[in-house]
Amino acid sequence: MRYVSIDLETTGLDAESCQILEIGAVIDDLSKPFDPQPCEIFHRFVKHPEYHGQPYALALNQEILYALAKDAHPHISWACDVAAEFAEWLYSRGRFDREVPVTAAGKNFAGFDKPFLTMFPKFTEFVNLHHRSIDPGTLWMESTDTVIPSTEECMRRAGLDGEVAHTAVEDATVVCKLIRRKWFRD
């Protein structure tokens, strides 16, 4: 099974009033060995004419905002261009087809990332996402949990070292590791 792990960094939690600052995606094919340093990576810092957001998220992502202000990153794109660039990257990999929906993965992808992605101009015209997605939180739930575990807790349960990076590519890669650790360990 092929899927795309997608992670976003945003200016806040509300997809209708906040914006995407960074998008990272990693293609994983469960029929092949996993490379912990994936080579099929999409990464963009997202430029907007103005930025709107919530103080905590703006502070958390200050390095991204600084890079955007200074044009100091090799992969900066205007928000209006990201959907086409992502679709071109995805479909040029030779493993996805515009007619077949792409299975996405991510911690809380359906409830957080997907609503933000659909706010990108023309995203739903360019990228056909499957209505189902993979969330590693549900894979790492235990019978005593009262809520779906955080990424940090999933990593602890999976025996993965490190912390959540809060950078899109690194967090998308962690999702792949969590999925593989669960599916190939049990």
Give the pLDDT confidence of 99-126 residue by residue, as tens digits: 889 999 999 999 999 999 999 889 999 9
Can you list the domains of the chain with their CATH numbers? 2-135 (3.30.420.10)
- DSSP assignment of 126-174, as one string? H--EEEEEE-HHHHT--TT-SSPPPHHHHHHHHT--S----SHHHHHHH
Up-side HSE of residue 86: CA atoms within 13 Å toward CB?
Answer: 34
Q: Which amino acid is at 129?
A: L
Give the pLDDT confidence of 41-90 residue by residue, as tens digits: 999 999 999 999 999 999 999 999 999 999 999 999 999 999 999 999 99
Q: How many residues does the chain have?
A: 186
CA distance 109 to 184: 22
Q: The tokens of 62 are what? A: 């200050």
